[in-house]
Amino acid sequence: MTQPLVLLDLDGTLMDSAPGITSSVAHAYRALGIPVPDDATLRTFVGPPITDSFPDHGVPPERTAEAVAAYREAFTAGGMFDNAVFDGVPDVLRALRDAGCTLLVATSKPEVYAKPICDRFGISDLVDGVHGAPLDEGTSTKADVIAAALAAQGRRSPVDPAEGPVLMVGDREHDVHGATVHGIDCLGVSWGYAAPGELEAAGAVAVVDEVPALAPAVRDLLSPAL
C-alpha cells in the first residue's frame, strides 16, 4: 500500500481568493456593457470553471470568449494575487504531511495561474504538486483535473484501495461530483463559497466547519492507513 493521497481544492479551501476573482469578473461585465451581478452572485464564480459561470449568469454564449478575455485581463494585471491563505491552513498541511500523506492541489483554476499563486503564497512548499485546468477551461472538468493528479501519482481510476486511500477536500459541489467520478470520497469545508446545504446535497462524506479541525477529520477518514 502506498501513502494516503489527499487532493486539495485551492479557491475557498486553502485560500480566500474571492476578492481578486470577483473584481475581475465585475470588470468583464463592465467591459461587455452587461449589468454586473450582485455580490452574492459574483461569489458563485469562485471555484467552478469561469467558462461555465459566465453563460449561467447573463453572458450570451456567443460572448463567453470575450468575457473570459476581459476577465483574464484584470486577473493577470493583479487580481490573481488579491488573495490570502486561510488562517491555520499551513499548519494543517504540515500536520498531514507529518502524518504521512501525499498532498496535491487539484483546482479548476488554469494551472498557469494556480502554480504562480501557490508559489507566491507558500503553498507550493507544503504540497507535493499543483494540478489545474488547461487555459481553455471549457475543455476541462474537476474530474479531469483529478484524473491528471491521480495519473501523476501512478494511481488508477476508479481508485484501487490496494494502492492506498485517496480523499478529496473541497468547498463546492463540483469538488464532490468530480471526486465521485473516480470513486473518491470528498470531505467538505464550510468556510469557502458553497451555498448552505450545497456540500451535503452533493454527497460530501462530512463537512468541517473550522480550519483546525481539518487535519483530524482527514486523518479519521483515512484511518487505519495513518
What pLDDT is recorded for position 226?
64
How many residues make up the chain in this entry? 226
- Secondary structure class of 39 (helix, strand, coil): helix
pLDDT per residue as tens digits for the range 153-195? 999 999 998 899 999 999 999 999 999 999 999 999 999 999 9
- Secondary structure class of 8 (helix, strand, coil): strand
Using 50, 70 and 90 to split pLDDT, how confident is the model at 55? very high
d(C-alpha 72, C-alpha 24), whole Å: 7
Residue 135 has pLDDT above 90, yes or no: no
DSSP E strands in 31-183: the ranges are: 84-85, 102-110, 130-133, 166-170
Catalytic one among 9, 11, 16, 171?
A: 9
What type of residue sits at position 138?
Answer: G
What pLDDT is recorded for position 136?
79
d(C-alpha 146, C-alpha 86), whole Å: 23
Query: Do you find a cis peptide bond into 196, omega within 30 degrees of 0?
Result: no
- What is the mean predicted confidence (pLDDT) over 120-143? 90
d(C-alpha 47, C-alpha 192), whole Å: 9
**Beta carbons of 122 and 85 less than 8 angstroms apart:** yes
9 carries an active-site annotation: yes
What pLDDT is recorded for position 138?
64
**Beta carbons of 26 and 42 less than 8 angstroms apart:** yes
Which residues lie closer than 8 Å to 175 by C-beta, 6 or more apart?
Answer: 9, 13, 47, 142, 168, 169, 186, 188
pLDDT per residue as tens digits for the range 65-83? 999 999 999 999 999 999 9
- What is the mean predicted confidence (pLDDT) over 200-222? 97
